[in-house]
Amino acid sequence: MTTRRTFIKGAGSLVLYFNVMPFDASAQQSSAAELPQSLAANRSLDTWLRLDADGVVTLSPGKCELGQGVQTALAQIAAEELDVDMGRIQVLTVDTGHSPDEAYTSGSRSIEHSGAAIRMAAAEVRAILVELAADELDTLPAKIAVRNGVFTIDGAMTPLDYWSVIAEKTLERHASGTVPVKDRDRYRVVGSSAERIDIPAKAFAENVYIHDMRLDGMLHARVVRTGNCEATLSLRADIDTVMDSPGVVKVVRDGSFLAVVAEREEQAVNAARQLAALCDWKHATLPFDESSVSEWLREAPAEVKVVAERGAVGSSGIARNVGRSYSRAFQAHASLSPSAAIAHRQGDRLTVWSHSQGVYPLRGAIAKIAGLDEQSVRCIHAQASGCYGHNGADDAACDAALIAMQVPGRPIRLQWSRADEFLGEPYGSAMTTEINAGIDDDGRIVDWNFDVWSGSHSTRPRGANGAGRFFAARQLAEPLAVPPVGNIPQPRGGGDRNAVPGYAFANHRVTKHLVPDVRLRVSAMRALGAFTNVFAIESFMDEIAHEQAEDPIDFRIRHLDDQRAIGVLNTLREQMSASQTGSLEAPAGVGIGMARYKNSGAYCAVAMHVVVNPDSGQIKLRHALCAVDVGLVINPDGVINQIEGGIIQASSWTVREQIRLDRDGAASKDWVSYPVLTFAEVPAVEVTLIDQPDELPLGAGEAAQGPTAAAIANAVARATGKRIRDLPLTPARVRQA
Q: How far is residue 23 CA from its own chain's centroid?
A: 22
Cβ(261)–Cβ(248) under 8 Å?
A: yes
Cβ(388)–Cβ(331) under 8 Å?
A: no
Instruction: List the Cα angle 461/467/469 in 5-degree steps.
Output: 60
With CB cut-offs between 5 and 8 Å by kind, which of other proteins, ligand FES, none does residue 680 bind?
other proteins
Beta pairing partners, 588: 611
Q: Contact between 385 and ligand FES (CB under 6 A)?
A: yes
The residue count for binding other proteins (CB under 8 A) is 66
Q: What single-letter DSSP state applies at residue 331?
A: B
Q: Contact between 649 and other proteins (CB under 8 A)?
A: yes
Beta pairing partners, 486: none
* Residue 568: exposure state from Cβ atoms within 10 A (0-12, 13-18, ≥19): buried
Which residues in the 10-49 window bind other proteins by CB under 8 A? 10-14, 16
User: How far is 700 from 602, CA to CA, in rounded Å?
Assistant: 6
Q: Tell me the closest approach of the beta carbon of residue 199 to ligand FES, in angstroms.
A: 10
Q: Tell me the closest approach of the beta carbon of residue 25 to other proteins, in angstroms.
A: 32
Cβ(291)–Cβ(244) under 8 Å?
A: no
Stretch 153-192: interaction string toward ligand FES, x if CB under 6 A: ----------------------------------------
User: How far is 64 from 67, CA to CA, in rounded Å?
Assistant: 9
Q: Contact between 675 and ligand FES (CB under 6 A)?
A: no
Q: Contact between 215 and other proteins (CB under 8 A)?
A: no
Which residues in the 286-345 window bind ligand FES by CB under 6 A? 336
Main-chain dihedrals φ then ψ at residue 110, nearest 5 degrees = -65, -40
Q: Strands 412-415 and 279-282, how do they pair?
A: unpaired
Q: Could you give the C-alpha distances from 685 to 136, 601, 621, 714, in angstroms and in order?
A: 56, 21, 10, 17
Q: Could you give the C-alpha distances from 9 to 5, 400, 686, in angstroms and in order?
A: 11, 43, 9
Alpha helix stretches (DSSP H) within 244-316: 265-278, 293-299
Q: Contact between 580 and other proteins (CB under 8 A)?
A: no
Q: Tell me the closest approach of the beta carbon of residue 647 to ligand FES, in angstroms.
A: 15
Q: What single-letter DSSP state applies at residue 383?
A: B
Q: Contact between 203 and other proteins (CB under 8 A)?
A: yes
Q: Contact between 13 and ligand FES (CB under 6 A)?
A: no
User: How far is 731 from 737, CA to CA, in rounded Å?
Assistant: 10
Q: Contact between 199 and ligand FES (CB under 6 A)?
A: no
Among 34, 46, 265, 440, binds other proteins (CB under 8 A): 265
Among 299, 418, 548, 662, binds other proteins (CB under 8 A): 418
Q: Contact between 386 and ligand FES (CB under 6 A)?
A: yes
Cis amide prior to 491 (ω within 30 degrees) = yes
With CB cut-offs between 5 and 8 Å by kind, which of ligand FES, other proteins, none does residue 11 bind?
other proteins
With CB cut-offs between 5 and 8 Å by kind, which of ligand FES, other proteins, none does residue 670 bind?
other proteins
Cβ(313)–Cβ(528) under 8 Å?
A: no
Among 42, 71, 106, 267, binds other proteins (CB under 8 A): 267
Which residues in the 58-77 window bind other proteins by CB under 8 A? 66-69
Q: Contact between 204 and other proteins (CB under 8 A)?
A: yes
Q: Tell me the closest approach of the beta carbon of residue 645 to ligand FES, in angstroms.
A: 8
Q: What single-letter DSSP state applies at residue 481?
A: P
Among 670, 693, 721, 736, binds other proteins (CB under 8 A): 670
Q: Contact between 211 and other proteins (CB under 8 A)?
A: yes
Residues 6+ apart with CB under 8 A from 38: 62, 100, 102, 113, 114, 116, 117
Stretch that binds other proteins, among 21-29, 153-161, 451-459, 647-655 (CB under 8 A): 647-655
Stretch 27-66: interaction string toward ligand FES, x if CB under 6 A: ----------------------------------------
Q: Tell me the closest approach of the beta carbon of residue 195 to other proteins, in angstroms.
A: 7
User: How far is 252 from 576, CA to CA, in rounded Å?
Assistant: 60
Helix (H, G, I), strand (E, B) or coil at 44: strand
Among 67, 479, 483, 587, binds ligand FES (CB under 6 A): 67
* Interface ranges with ligand FES (CB under 6 A): 67, 336, 385-386
* Interface ranges with other proteins (CB under 8 A): 8-14, 16, 66-69, 195-196, 198-200, 202-209, 211-212, 214, 246, 264-267, 269-270, 334-338, 383-386, 388, 415, 417-418, 637, 641, 644-649, 670-672, 676, 678-680, 682, 684-685
